[in-house]
Amino acid sequence: MLGAVLLCGCTSPVGGSEAESASEAEASEEEAKLDVEVMSPEVKDISISSNFAGTVVAQSEVYVIPMISGEVVEKNYEVGDHVNEGDLLFKIDDEALQIALTQAEANVTSAQAGLNAQKAAAEATKASSNATRAQATQTVGEIPYNAEAMNVKVDSDYATKRSANNSLKSAWASIDHMEDQLDDLEDARDAAESAAATAKAAYEELLAKGASEADIAAALKTYTTAESTVSELDSSIDTLELNIKTSKYSADSAEMQYDVATENYNLSQMQRNNYNTYTVPTTLYGAYASAVGANASDVGADAQVTSSAATVKQAQAGLDSAKLQLEYTNVKAPVSGTITSIGVTLHNMATQSSAAYTIQSDDPNKIVFYAAEETARNIRPGSEAIVTKNGTDYKAKILTVYDTIDATTGLFKIEASVTDSAAASALISGSSVSIKTVTRRSGNALSVPIDAVYYDGDQAYVYVNDNGTAKRVDVTPGLSDDQSIEIAEGLTGNEKVVVTWAGSLRDGTAINAKDVTAYTGNDHTKTNADTTAAPDKKAEAPGADKANGTTDAMVPVSAGAEDQG
């Protein structure tokens, strides 16, 4: 026992206990663990934008053509000048038009004086016609009563016509029914005749064979009955044919009555129409017969007033035309914009056959660029875009993505509209710009930070926290931007992914995991030395799309074509 106690005492460290040794071992093991940050995969939209070389195209050009021809006596703007709507571009000689305007004003004054004199004369003439018109009013008032009586006659004749039509339809319906019955009787008679012939043949056969009297008597009875049936059917057919013939006579009579009723109805309509068309005007003329003289004077007076008023209108139209022609000598800018060409010169003729000025309007210009088919299919009308000119960015929106290949470039044409008002003066038609817009997108993508993804050859993988141990999980990457990469396959979204890059991190490495909700990035810089420490880690540029090897910093290979990865 003493030896055992001495032996135990010899195994204890000098100056410490077994508990202290275990604590120090645990502390050493804890210090050996790798400190990392972990977070759950995020669900977010990932997109890649591409830069394209574009050309500014004018939204609209306005050609200013003078409304009249003449000598240009004043010219105010040159090519490149900016004008506002309503600015005077040039002036045409108006000396002859000023004289025409003075003459037109004199014509209006003279015509107005004649109209005033005719109105006074007309008032005097109409004063003596009032009594005569009162008598005519009474006669005119009787016209509606007569018209109503004719309407009643037309309605009555129409009712008679409808009744005759119904009788005619009923007669023919009855005939059709009897003819159907006749067909049925004729079919029955044919069947009865066939049965009688069969019964007769049977009867004669029994006689020839010398059959028993009972059989012969039975056969004779059957034959006699069949013959009787044929006779009855013949009689019914004759009767029905007679009834049909009689009914057709009745139908003919009903048709005649219908024709008579139709003629009466048409006649009453004609009488009413004639009354309204001819009798009423004649009655009116007769009612006014006693006031013919007064009416003639009134009509003459009104005619004179109307003629004078027409003369005033004609003179006024001449004045308006002269003013308009004079206004046409001042040719103004119809829109605000920049003058791109001029077709007139001072003291030469401006004509209506050619444009004097061409103005590019201030409406926002379009940006035209071209893309390959796969890229064009991913660009959506309505998407936001950024147009860059001389280092300045302007907001824009994709207008149209054409679905046919442009014959000149072999690419698909795309048009964008600049929505930034500041671009109006900076983006001149025909100039070149750079335009950037989204060309690839993945909505609601399960994603992790780019630094969390490692590569073993072509196989991508991440480390997840498995109860304090780093566990390698192979994944299939998708689209990426400058911060995140889509994980198409391999993760469910419930894992805690190691987002701290470390060259010593391996499958099975013990880790101290700190849970974070947002990735702030690693402080280290990935170099060839990093890849030496971690041979299975690819050195890649930040923002690289690990799915297809392209980056979002794309520069056109040639004007009008998007960069190819």
Q: What pLDDT does 479 receive?
A: 87
What are the residues whose beta carbons fall under 8 Å from the beta carbon of 195, sequence distance 6 or more?
226, 229
Angle value at C-alpha 256, between 255 and 258, nearest 5 degrees:
60
* Cβ burial 417-448 (10 Å sphere, 16+ → b, else e): bbebeebbebbeeeeebbbbbbbbebeebbbb
pLDDT, tens digit (0-9, with 9 covering 90-100), for 482-528: 888 999 999 998 999 999 888 889 999 999 999 998 777 654 333 33
Q: Which H or E element spans position 317? A: helix 292-328
Q: Return left, alpha or beta for 186; rule: phi > 0 is left, psi -120 to 50 is alpha, else beta.
A: alpha
Q: How confident is the model at residue 34 (pLDDT cuts 50, 70, 90)?
A: very high
Q: What angle do CA 261, 265, 271 make, to 5 degrees?
A: 140
Say what the pLDDT of residue 21 is.
53
Give residue 544's pLDDT: 39
Structure confidence at residue 56 as a pLDDT band (50, 70, 90): confident
* Cβ atoms of residues 564 and 557 within 8 Å: yes
pLDDT band at 27 (very low <50, low <70, confident <90, very high): low
DSSP tally for the chain: helices H, then strands E: 11, 21
Strand order in the sheet with 330-332: 330-332, 88-92, 70-75, 349-350
How does residue 565 score in pLDDT terms, banded at 50, 70 and 90? very low
By C-alpha distance, which of 317, 310, 311, 308 is closest to 104? 317
pLDDT for residue 38:
93
Q: Which of 560, 188, 191 is nearest to 406 (CA)?
A: 560
CB within 8 Å of 288: residues ≥ 6 apart: 132, 133, 136, 295
For residue 259, what pLDDT band results from cuts at 50, 70 and 90? very high
| 418-461 confidence digits (pLDDT tens) | 877 666 667 777 789 999 999 888 888 899 998 899 999 999 99
pLDDT digits (tens, 9 = 90+) for 152-172: 989 998 999 899 899 888 989
State yes or no: pLDDT of 306 exceeds 70: yes
**Token pair of 405, please?**
């290949």
